[in-house]
Structure 1
Amino acid sequence: MPKGVHRVVSRGREYFYYQVGRGTDHAGPRVTLPNDPHLPSFWNAIRQAQGLGGGADVDTFGAVLDGYLEYINTAGTITAGTIDQYERALRLARTAWGDLPAKGLRPVHVQAVMDNLAATPGKANNFLSAMRALSTWARVRDHIEHSLTEGVKPYAKDKGHKPWTPAQIDAAMTKLTGVIRRGVVLYLYTGMRGSDAVRLGWTDVEEGGFALTTQKKKRDVWCPIVPELAAEMATWAKRPGPFLLQEGGRADGARYTRKLFSTHFADARDKIPELAGVTLHGLRCTAVIRLRRAGLSTGQIGDIVGMSLPMIERYCRFADRKTSGQAALLTLTRTAGEQNCKTLQNSKTKT
């Protein structure tokens, strides 16, 4: 809550008020606030109490946006990474419509922003995703009268994160060092999201695997520690905390966030020509394909890496087609060979 906002619980109900310098000789007037911090009127009342020119009209899109941002930051159901992505994307919305009446907005306005972002489809799709979430939240609270994104389509995605080739994996294993190499090993042999890989530690080991609840989906998974990973882990010191800790400088020994580890990996990757264009998320795809080729079902892979079944099938589609094609080629080659084989004829033995 902003400085000066206080929460009081009485007889099972919570109340809010604003007072500068509470408990001091210079305490300001006590201003009662609305009881629901999810409402735009709550934040408007705070601005009024702070003397910020009466605050924004509670009907403006900016006020609705303030309420939504407060909701996602306090709900406890959305990951920090998603919140950061939404906040950055919704700055575009605030710039475009902050002072306009929220109930006057329509999908055509969202489409106009999407059109302006056509040159950066990834940024446009992130904006649309954030607007969809905001629209759903605002619609059921009667802040808007219609969905703001109905009929608005995202830009077609490219081929996405590509799996690493054997040559790229070999280059990473031989040329990366320290914590960056260790992180690549974890990504490769667990298939976990970055937000989960940076949290893994010895305390997550349970009966030959990693047992944890995924950060994004809040799903319980058990990921087996394959022999290749076990051999790597045998060289790691056993200590509390995650496997991946920052090395050197003032942050030495500090925990990594997914974003910071990705940044440090990119710095190291750019110094190795063989790794040009690879992404850490591509290792998630690589791990899924490896599990599929080992004979695991889609459901089994989902239980291991905490990924939805449609996403697993999407990641495996090329590998499955390639394997099927190779099997077909083997069958065709065998069939052709059998057709060209001459049948031995029985003949009488001359005496």
Structure 2
Amino acid sequence: MRQKKAKGRVYHYWARTTPWTRLPDPYSDPDGFMRAMARLQRMGALEDERHRTGTFGGLVADYRRSKHFRETLSNSTRESYDRYLTRLLVAYAAAPLREMTPEDIQRRVLDANEDTPGAADMMLTILRTLYAYARKRHRGLSDWTEGLEYFGNQTEREPWPDDMLQAALTSDNELFRRAVTLALYTGQRPGDVCAMTWGMVAGDMIRVRQQKTKTALEIPMHDNLKAMIDELPRSEEHLFLLSNRRGGPLTREVFLVWCQKFTRKLGMNRTPHGLRKNAAIELFEAGCTSAEVAAITGHKSLAMLEHYGKRRSQPKIARLGMGKWKAKTKGEREN
């Protein structure tokens, strides 16, 4: 309720309607005032329920309160979802769920964001997640993402070219060089790399619990990684392997910016996540099986892992395979 003073009198208004609804004076007509308040409150409750259950804004509010959003998603994924949900609410907050169509999403989400295909693809993924959540709670909803296609432009997450990777591994920026080394030789996501502490190091192993999947891993250290870790400063002020001068952790946001700045100077745009693909490719090219690669990177889906490995070098794999064949033939002759 709001009050306004005009011409020496005080007027009372219900402020949840547009325009505000004037109320009877509570002093001269208390019964009328209470009846009007009760009626408006009932109307407001019905409107809230209609909004909560029947619009995109209400669906998003429900989803943000869900266990899936609050507990199943990792912190980084939840933050990313939150950011894109806010963008989608600008376009669809008051949209009735039953009136949302693929054609409208194509125009207002995909076409409107074609200059940033990565963002458009992420919003389409979130819209599909929301539909899967909504159809279990709203009978008869049509799939508002049916037939829509991803741009599929994921160049930022592509593996780093060999020359660019070597330049990063020998960079004069000490902390950047260490971050790239740790990300490459553990094959972990940027958030997990930045969260690694000295307590996770045990001999020649690094123990990791992935933030996204909660998978626990024990990763043997590559000689290059072991040499780098042996040189890291260690004190009571440096809890994290990648700590700044004040002892705080390197954040994944800063790591992202560093990688983008470094790679753009070399004519490309790459992110820390691409180093995870580099790790998978190196392991495949070394002759590892999918199961062996997954034991290091923590991938649950072998199909996704094979997707990562599509960029492995055919000549290297062929040379490795021929070497095994030659060894087999030599063994047979000796026997």
TM-score (norm 2): 0.71
Residue 167 to residue 107, structure 1, CA distance change in 2 (3 Å): closer
Q: Aligned partners of 2:313 and 2:258: how far apart in 1?
A: 33
- SS state at 1:57 partner: helix
Q: Give the CA deviation at 1:230.
A: 0.8
Residue by residue, what CA displacement relative to the aligned partner does 1:163-210 show, whole Å, maximum 9, x if unpaired?
A: 334433332233332322211110121111101101112211235211
- Confirm whether residue 280 of structure 1 aligns to residue 280 of structure 2: no
The farther-off stretch of 57-66 and 152-161 is 152-161
- SS state at 2:160 partner: coil
Aligned to 2:117: 121
- Confirm whether residue 63 of structure 1 aligns to residue 68 of structure 2: no
- SS state at 1:111 partner: helix
AA partner of residue 245 (structure 1)? S
8 Å CA contact 1:72, 1:83 repeated in 2: no
Unaligned ranges ≥5, structure 1: 1-47, 331-351
8 Å CA contact 1:61, 1:102 repeated in 2: yes
Residue 61 to residue 143, structure 1, CA distance change in 2 (3 Å): farther
Aligned pair partner of 2:104 in 109, 119, 122: 109
8 Å CA contact 1:168, 1:275 repeated in 2: no
- Confirm whether residue 254 of structure 1 aligns to residue 248 of structure 2: yes
How is 1:1-351 mapped onto 2 (pairs within 5 angstroms)?
57-58=51-52, 59-71=54-66, 75-113=70-108, 114-142=110-138, 145-157=141-153, 161-239=157-235, 241-247=239-245, 252-267=246-261, 269=262, 273-274=265-266, 276-307=268-299, 308-324=301-317
Q: Give the CA deviation at 1:283.
A: 1.7
Aligned to 2:333: none
Residue 213 to residue 275, structure 1, CA distance change in 2 (3 Å): farther
8 Å CA contact 1:204, 1:211 repeated in 2: yes
8 Å CA contact 2:187, 2:297 repeated in 1: yes
The farther-off stretch of 93-102 and 64-73 is 64-73
AA partner of residue 284 (structure 1)? R
8 Å CA contact 1:135, 1:148 repeated in 2: yes
Task: Name the structure where helix makes up a greater proportion of residues.
Answer: 2
- SS state at 2:208 partner: strand
Q: Give the CA deviation at 1:157.
A: 3.2
- SS state at 1:140 partner: coil
The farther-off stretch of 57-66 and 218-227 is 57-66
Unaligned ranges ≥5, structure 2: 1-40, 324-335
Q: Give the CA deviation at 1:97.
A: 2.4
Number of residue pairs aligned between Structure 1 and Structure 2: 276
Q: Give the CA deviation at 1:91.
A: 3.0
Q: Give the CA deviation at 1:225.
A: 0.7
Residue 76 to residue 176, structure 1, CA distance change in 2 (3 Å): farther
Q: Give the CA deviation at 1:102.
A: 2.1
Q: Aligned partners of 2:321 and 2:200: how far apart in 1?
A: 43
Q: Aligned partners of 2:161 and 2:144: how far apart in 1?
A: 42
Q: Aligned partners of 2:146 and 2:101: how far apart in 1?
A: 9
Q: Aligned partners of 1:260 and 1:219: how far apart in 2?
A: 25
Residue 84 to residue 314, structure 1, CA distance change in 2 (3 Å): same
Residue 127 to residue 74, structure 1, CA distance change in 2 (3 Å): closer
- SS state at 1:153 partner: coil
Residue by residue, what CA displacement relative to the aligned partner does 1:92-151 show, whole Å, maximum 9, x if unpaired?
A: 432222223223323333233323333432221111001111111122122772333233
Q: Aligned partners of 1:183 and 1:64: how far apart in 2?
A: 39
8 Å CA contact 2:204, 2:226 repeated in 1: no
Q: Aligned partners of 1:178 and 1:143: how far apart in 2?
A: 57
AA partner of residue 246 (structure 1)? N
8 Å CA contact 1:211, 1:221 repeated in 2: yes
